[in-house]
Structure 1
Amino acid sequence: MTEAPQILLAHHLKVLRLPTFLREYDKLARQCAAEGVDHVRYLIRLTELELIDRERRMVERRIKQAKFPAVKSLDSFNYKTLPSLNKMLVVDLARCEYVERRENVIALGNSGTGKTHIALGLGLAACQKGLAVGFTTAAALVHELMEARDEKRLLRFQKQLANYRLLIIDELGFVPLSKTGAELLFEVFSQRYERGSTIVTSNLPFDEWTEVFGSERL
């Protein structure tokens, strides 16, 4: 292939946003020629490489957008440190079928028991399935909500939160919330009810959540 067609092909592949094609087509063509592979199988191999790389980039983008404090997988969790945890339930949750059903997950336990690791692992699993995921702590979320309210962009921020297929709220109850903050946080839960899935981790038993929200009504 002369230089001019190579330049033109590179241009077309860039316009079509096929970076793996551009990077691999020449090397793979030589390999297929040496192996006697026909042009159809050559194209199949090339498109497979593009699809694999595109999925990898999509997962990386989802992980970046989720704003995880650290990327942790469920495979790296030591279940022996928490014998009471139902491993099969966690494995089942990693399939993300609960997200499709718009169900929620609550992880309760003392500090240091691995709740955040499990939540991060489930978030990573959701990213790997192409789902939009967001991660925040309860305190940080309340701070952002109050800031958005003061700057008259609360509705836009609430819509942003609603767009997450899975929203992970870590450390509920770890920091006391003001009455206004608790009301704004409860509104997030209310808006996501049966519209999206939420994972909440907390060191408080469920019956003590009224202390967080400051009202049995909430």
Structure 2
Amino acid sequence: MAVAEDGARRRRRQPADARREILDAATELLAGTPPHEVTVAAIMARTTLSRKSFYVYFHDRAELVAALVQPLRAEADAGLARWAAAPDPVVSGRAALRAAAGTYRRHGAILRVVFWAATGDPDIRRVRDDLTAALVDVATAKVAQADAGLPDPHATAVALATMNIHRLLAMSADTTDAELDEIVETLATIWERTLGLAPH
């Protein structure tokens, strides 16, 4: 047993267990705390580890956020892969959007840190850019395929993807299924009409 700075007894952990404990503490803190208050000190206060232990497992807060986002990235990439490969852009697009909305509802606290803290933190900005790059790439291909007379498929894709992200970030964990479906319907209709895939 080790003695922490505050005198509390702290248990020694296997490296994987200690890392998991830090990630779990950060997740719990993010669920009810404004992003700017999610500091290393605040995270470690929720663990049985000393504050300096944080830097054994993570270089900085941005690396921690990247680790939290990793499972979400796997979810997002799976949905995007289905959308990219599907022959029907409307049906597959709505399914991908519904899946993304579910991810944002479940993990909004983490995603808000990524997007809101990115402005002032270049490391977190890289996490954000990595998270959104795949969406923009697939969307650019879909815009180009739609041949709707839009002057720049990439710029259009960025605009539409940004709209999705900011609308979905505004959801809370208690957003109902009916509210989520209404959000998806609105966003999908904007995409479809912009790309000429649905009647005006």
* Shared fold (TM-score, shorter chain, > 0.5): no
Question: Which protein shows a greater Rg?
Answer: 1
Q: Which structure shows the bigger proportion of residues in helix conformation?
A: 2
TM-score (norm 2): 0.28
TM-score (norm 1): 0.27
- Larger RCO, structures 1/2 (Cα 8 Å, 6+ apart): 1
